[in-house]
Structure 1
Amino acid sequence: MTDRFNQKNISVPKGVWIIRQTWNDVLFAHWPVDPSILRDKVPSVLELDTYNGMAWISVLPFMLTDLRARFLPPIPGAHSFPELNFRTYVTYKGKPGIYFFSLDADHRLAVQGARTFFHLPYFYADMNAEKSGDIIQYASKRKDARSAKAEFSASYRPISAPFTAEKESLDYWLTERYRLYTSHHNKLYFEDIHHHPWMLKRAEAHFTINTTAEAHGIQLTHSEPLLHYAEKQDVLFWPLRRWR
């Protein structure tokens, strides 16, 4: 293993954060895939990150709340909505991060703003998230004409006591990522984020339908996914920067 997990890599980024938000009732559903399946779906400038020779893809449904810009109050009607992320793991010049294939959100203004100002592949979807006790019922159906249709429906819940992942473990490798990469007009951009280490729980989930990966030409393996749950995470975002 490299030294990518030493403490300096999760320190507060330089400069001033510009956006904050809270992620609630997060499910991490992870599947291993052969790196060759993803290579032509990720910008060539990025190196696919692997763990014991395997690449990984993850689907994350959660409820986003308290979205606001620094020094400003929440945007009326746009500070709380469901979101569904589909991502993989990459590095650039030794810095690990996340590459998003798609981010679905149930708010047209948030989708357009993220596409315009952060060059992220957000799509509008009809979504619903309901919590009863410790069980979350989650559904998403993409309505955006800019993408192939994708649908997700699942119920999930935590099944263990909370824990923080040990460095160099697969749990840590999959969840403790503090940079996202994206491309726009063949130029590479990155954005740093910061939050406390994830307080994870083991989880169980029942997937009624999940065509999120298929919409991007990726077939999920038939193996059971590795599942994590997190009740809440406050996240800060720094400005998007172009890599020159």
Structure 2
Amino acid sequence: MAECPSRHTGPAEATARNSPLALSHVLFRQSWHDVVFLHWEADPYEVARLLPSGTYPDLFHGRTFVGLVFFAMRNLAFGHAPPLPYVGAFTEVNVRLYSRDALGRRAVVFRSLDCDRLLPVLAARAGFGLPYRWSHASRRWHDNRLVYRSRGRRDGSRAGGSAWMEVGGKPARTRPMDDFLTQRWGLHESVRGRTYYLPNTHPAWTFLDCELLGWNASVVGAAGLAEPLDHPVSVLYAPGVPVRFGPPVRLPGRTDVP
């Protein structure tokens, strides 16, 4: 079980608009389109117990957050190979937390990832230990209004995530808290008791002004956190970015789960 205090980590990686590390080589590529970020404040001690061994809650002025993120995945490909047909395009809805490790690297930790393609779900669970779930997930545009919806198919859970918003055409101003939440250059996960860091790189985000019209975050409660009841503290929309992932790196030291 992870501990809460972040004093166990090294100096924090700087919040930067571009990846601070160059990838040694590209493991896989993908593009994220119509990205919607909804965030709520979370209890750091509740978050700590859900993180992989060797990682700790990343705090912004003493606060940590849970994110509900929606996007359309496109052009999934391995290395420099052409994009995979059919299975390389799907809608994803994920619940994520914010972590740091002993080297000070900031990352995300996924608590759930809903996807409407079965093969990527099976591959990501088997290869990377990521908590993907085969789900009904959809994205629809109605003029300038964007609607995302997801719910599970097989696990009997009615929990899902949804967001509907009006998107404008003007650039949006971001706050330091928004930068803290979105400028993330890796993920932490654990496979067979060993925690790893998977780096990524992509161009700087461009956010457009938007208004959240409605939402459902029951999937956050199903992911082991308190279900949000209040309006999100951060609402962002980005047209999208191409993303590259590098090879996973094990965290230093022994990180086996006791």
Give the TM-score, by structure 1 length: 0.89
Structure 2 letter corresponding to 1:243: L
1:192 correspondence with 2:180: no
**Contact map agreement 2:65 2:98 (CA 8 A) in 1:** yes
Shift of 1:7: 5.5
Alignment of 1:75-94 (within 5 A): 75-93=84-102, 94=104
Determine helix, strand or coil for the equivalent of 2:77: strand
1:232 correspondence with 2:240: yes
Task: Report how many residues are paired.
Answer: 240
Alignment of 1:51-62 (within 5 A): 51-62=60-71
Structure 2 letter corresponding to 1:85: N
Shift of 1:14: 3.5
Identity of aligned residues (%): 27
Q: After superposition, what is the alpha-carbon deviation per residue over 1:39-94, rounded to whole angstroms, capped at 9, x for unaligned?
A: 21223421101112111000001111111112322222112110011101010021
1:107 correspondence with 2:107: no
Shift of 1:154: 2.4
When residues 144 and 188 of structure 1 are mapped into structure 2, their CA distance, relative to the original with a 3 A threshold, is farther
Structure 2 letter corresponding to 1:156: M
Between the aligned partners of 1:100 and 1:135, the Cα distance in structure 2 is 27
- Pick the aligned partner of 1:129 from 106, 125, 139: 139
Determine helix, strand or coil for the equivalent of 1:41: coil
When residues 217 and 12 of structure 1 are mapped into structure 2, their CA distance, relative to the original with a 3 A threshold, is closer
1:143 correspondence with 2:153: yes
Shift of 1:155: 1.1
Give the TM-score, by structure 2 length: 0.85
Q: After superposition, what is the alpha-carbon deviation per residue over 1:134-182, rounded to whole angstroms, capped at 9, x for unaligned?
A: 211111111243x95521232123346225746xx11110100001000
Q: Which runs of 5+ in 2 are unaligned?
A: 1-10, 253-258
Between the aligned partners of 2:198 and 2:173, the Cα distance in structure 1 is 24
Shift of 1:211: 0.9
1:11 correspondence with 2:20: yes
Between the aligned partners of 1:202 and 1:79, the Cα distance in structure 2 is 29
Shift of 1:3: 6.0
The residue that corresponds to 1:181 in the other structure is 188
Structure 1 letter corresponding to 2:200: I
1:243 correspondence with 2:251: yes
**Contact map agreement 1:24 1:232 (CA 8 A) in 2:** yes
Determine helix, strand or coil for the equivalent of 1:36: helix
The residue that corresponds to 1:216 in the other structure is 223
When residues 221 and 132 of structure 1 are mapped into structure 2, their CA distance, relative to the original with a 3 A threshold, is closer
Structure 1 letter corresponding to 2:145: I
**Contact map agreement 2:15 2:183 (CA 8 A) in 1:** no
Between the aligned partners of 1:3 and 1:210, the Cα distance in structure 2 is 30
Between the aligned partners of 1:126 and 1:3, the Cα distance in structure 2 is 38
When residues 92 and 76 of structure 1 are mapped into structure 2, their CA distance, relative to the original with a 3 A threshold, is same
Determine helix, strand or coil for the equivalent of 2:171: coil
**Contact map agreement 2:185 2:199 (CA 8 A) in 1:** yes
Moved more, 153-162 or 3-12: 3-12
Shift of 1:232: 1.4
Structure 2 letter corresponding to 1:5: A
RMSD: 2.2
When residues 208 and 99 of structure 1 are mapped into structure 2, their CA distance, relative to the original with a 3 A threshold, is closer
Determine helix, strand or coil for the equivalent of 1:10: coil
Between the aligned partners of 2:117 and 2:32, the Cα distance in structure 1 is 16
When residues 188 and 148 of structure 1 are mapped into structure 2, their CA distance, relative to the original with a 3 A threshold, is farther
Structure 2 letter corresponding to 1:161: K
Shift of 1:210: 2.4
Structure 2 letter corresponding to 1:158: V
**Contact map agreement 1:49 1:55 (CA 8 A) in 2:** yes
Moved more, 11-20 or 151-160: 151-160
Structure 2 letter corresponding to 1:224: H
Moved more, 217-226 or 57-66: 217-226
The residue that corresponds to 1:171 in the other structure is 178
